[in-house]
Amino acid sequence: MTPECDAAARSHPLARRIQLIQGSSIDPEIIARVHAMTDRHQYLKTHLEFEFDKQIDHKPLISVAPDGYLRRVA
C-alpha cells in the first residue's frame, strides 16, 4: 500500500472500524484472517432488524457478497 493510501485509510471517518490486512488475496493465511461471510451471519444473529437482500443476486451486477447485501427490515 502506498503511503498516501495508508494515510487516507487511517484518516477516514470510519477508520476505527477498518482493519488493514496486507498480503496476497489468494494467500490462505490472509484469507483465514478475513472471515467476511461468517461475520455477516454472526451480525445477523444479534441484529434482527436486518436480513440478506437476495433480490440483488438476480440483477446484472458484479457482487462480492455471496448471500446478497443486508437490508433493514425493521
Question: What pLDDT score was predicted for residue 36?
Answer: 66
User: Both 30 and 48 in a single domain?
Assistant: no
The total domain count for the chain is 2
Question: What pLDDT score was predicted for residue 61?
Answer: 64
User: Both 64 and 47 in a single domain?
Assistant: yes
Alpha helices in 16-70 (DSSP H): 28-34, 36-46
User: Both 44 and 27 in a single domain?
Assistant: no
Q: pTM for the complete prediction? A: 0.39
For residue 9, what are the domain limits?
1-34
Beta-ladder partners of 72: 50
Question: What pLDDT score was predicted for residue 57?
Answer: 67
Q: Which residues of the chain have a pLDDT value below 50? A: none
Q: Dig out the grid coordinates for 32 from the structure.
A: 483465514
Question: What pLDDT score was predicted for residue 12?
Answer: 92
